Structure 1
Amino acid sequence: MPLSEHEQRMLDQIERALYAEDPKFANTVRQTNPGVHYKRWIIKAVIGFVLGMGLLLLGLLLGGPDASLALPVTISVLGFIFMLASFLMGANAWRKATGGAEAMLAEAENEPKKRKGDKRPGMMNRFEERWRRRQQGEE
């Protein structure tokens, strides 16, 4: 959605003020590609997933037949939680990097709206129709 003329002037004014205040920061921000930020998050998520898998396997290896079960189970559960959190973080960064969120929103906007009444069974529709006819004095 394009900006209005007033909004564009305001944005230009803000940019000029930022350049006047801190030209080094403004130049850095202008040259930064948002995709690079998401790629970093994806790399961090992959590393976290591998570390979580390592913790999970460590917990399984420590849980030998003569060991107490409290520590190995705790390590394994923490590893699994770490793996899950890393996967979710990576999936979110991947979705943002590939523009999946915008595509999902555009698809949802193009989809026709369904009314709640469309899902009701036939009997309820008949009852409502009878009620409407009574209210209108047809019966």
Structure 2
Amino acid sequence: MPLSEQEQRLLDEMERHLYRNDADFVSTAGDRRGRPSYRSIALGSLVVLIGIGALVAAVMIQQPVVGVVGFVVMLGGVLLAMQPSKNSAEPAGDKTKAQKPVHDGGNFMDKMNDRWDRRQENER
């Protein structure tokens, strides 16, 4: 469902306000984390399942220490699953990346605006 003119103006105003007041945040918002590593997600999920098993076993044998250990293992599994991929960081010796121009089509919002415009043109 397309936005009304008033909603579009409000969205544009909010975007301009964000760029004007929080330019540092906008430029670094997506740079902190890389793409997810599916290996670490799978391994983290397995560790979480082991932690859940330990927690259930602790309830069955009525040992709170085993339950705490199970909870810590589950927490470690979640943290492991959330780790970014090591491949997302740009290697120093990668020459193909160095040959790309610095401006590769704009920032995230420009790309999203282009996609929105194309979608609106296709609906007409």
The structure richer in helix per residue is 1
Task: Point out the structure with max Rg over C-alpha.
Answer: 1
- In the superposition, the TM-score normalised over structure 1's length comes to 0.35
- TM-score, normalised by the number of residues in structure 2: 0.39
